[in-house]
Structure 1
Amino acid sequence: MIRRLARRAVLPLTAPIGSVRQVSSQQPHVVLTYDDGPQPGATERVLESLADSGCTATFFVLVNRARKHPALLREVQAAGHEIALHGVDHVRLTTLAPQQVRLRTADGKHRLEDLLGTEVHWFRPPYGAQKPSTYAAIRAAGMESVVWDVAAFDWEERPAAVLAERTLAEVHSGSVVLMHDGYAGPEDGVDDGPAPTFDRGELARLVCAGLAERGLTGVSLRDALAHGKTVKRAWFRA
């Protein structure tokens, strides 16, 4: 009880400097976000489903993958989606020294901007792992930290329909939904086991259809903020 009361007292004070977790808007918008791409064979399927559904999304990309698949990165951009930074690779930043985090974050931003030809505003730390020093590095690089309030748990080996049902049960207007168009592996500096085999394009289709049935629209963070404002909360986890 004491911890809960303390959290309620602290959160309003930290909100102005917190991480983006939701969007406040009069529009029935849900922010769709995708991590760990671009990944050939999966990103294209997600893009196709989003286009068919009339949804947009923010793609948090890994720089090393973006450099390896620049045509696919340009395809995401040309389709009208927003591109943001997820890291140079997928190494958990909370395991690194603060100076190294600052250098990697700033370097990743510059390298991604060189690929895109536009400024990058948002950063999502791999695994959502963030310490105060990690947050400070993101802000020092001129970006804002973006996390989520609904996760699709699409790193699990489950049917797309099950993952969509779980996601839609939690979603509401203003939610920021975490999904993936890729799956980080050894090439990204991590080993989280074998990638799930479900169709990520099918999951995108089911989520967008379910949102429409609820009178909601999936949009990128950029598109949501054309009609609303960010809701920030303190977010620190190892």
Structure 2
Amino acid sequence: MLTYDDGPEPGGTERVLAALATHDARATFFVLVSRARLYPSLLGEVVAAGHEIALHGLDHRRLTSFSAAEVRQRSAAGRAELEDRTGRPVRWIRPPYGAQTPATWMAMRRAGLTPVLWGCSSWDWKPMADEARVARVHETVHAGSIVLCHDGFADARDSVANGPAPTVDRGQVALGILDAYRERGLAARTLGEALTHGSAIREARFRR
């Protein structure tokens, strides 16, 4: 399963969409509401292409920096706004940085969302060659893997300072990963689609 965080973002999201279309692949996009407000038409392109929309946050601040009550409120508000913008139900949330505690996990659940982390990553937020990103996924992916990728890069617009954006061709990385899927006889599908044919693996993974 391919998942994308931190978008939508011009220059990244449309390239990822083009790569997915080339392989007739579908993905789950964990959207920042701060970006959905900036680029509503790009969010619409993701929906129109048949991909799944999930919540990454109102912005990119760690949910562990808020009280449980605030996390519940922010998660519920983000879910409601994305559902209003897309006309689609939002089931999943990925806390920024994968940061969650038992208290914030429960708060997200009480907001009607299921927290989702990942198994392997393309490391596409790090300064490295695109070939190395693809190789990393190729070495670790297997049937049922949740692969972490990004179609954007969070910054001050999302209430964080994560340093300079990496130099990465997100479309080429997506194509490389999809080629690796094809070599192994795998297909990229959304989380929702995958769960119609399999069962979720539930683990306790907490970090601040």
Q: TM-score range by the shorter chain?
A: over 0.9
Confirm or deny that 1:51 pairs with 2:17: no
Q: Tell which structure's C-alpha radius of gyration is larger.
A: 1
- Percent identity of paired positions between Structure 1 and Structure 2: 52
User: Matched residue of 2:135: which SS?
Assistant: helix
Match of residue 78 from structure 2 = 108
Q: Is the 8 A contact 2:73 2:111 kept in 1?
A: no
The CA deviation string for residues 26-49 of structure 1, in whole angstroms up to 9 with x for no partner, is xxxxx1000000001110000000
Residue in structure 1 matching 2:102, options 111, 114, 132: 132
- Report the residue type matching 1:221 in the other structure: L
Match of residue 8 from structure 1 = none
Residue in structure 2 matching 1:152, options 122, 130, 147: 122
The 5 A counterparts of 1:39-118 are 39-118=9-88
Offset of residue 101 of structure 1: 1.3
Offset of residue 164 of structure 1: 0.4
User: Matched residue of 2:200: which SS?
Assistant: strand
For 2:27 and 2:201, the matched residues in 1 are separated by 18
Match of residue 218 from structure 1 = 188
Offset of residue 226 of structure 1: 2.1
Confirm or deny that 1:170 pairs with 2:135: no
Q: Is the 8 A contact 1:67 1:115 kept in 2?
A: no
Offset of residue 73 of structure 1: 0.6
Residue in structure 2 matching 1:195, options 165, 176, 192: 165
Unaligned runs of 5+ in 2: none
User: Matched residue of 1:135: which SS?
Assistant: helix
Q: Is the 8 A contact 1:131 1:236 kept in 2?
A: yes
For 1:206 and 1:223, the matched residues in 2 are separated by 22
Q: How many residues align?
A: 208
Confirm or deny that 1:141 pairs with 2:111: yes
The CA deviation string for residues 57-81 of structure 1, in whole angstroms up to 9 with x for no partner, is 0000001111211111110011011
Offset of residue 214 of structure 1: 1.3
TM-score (norm 1): 0.86
User: Matched residue of 1:47: which SS?
Assistant: helix
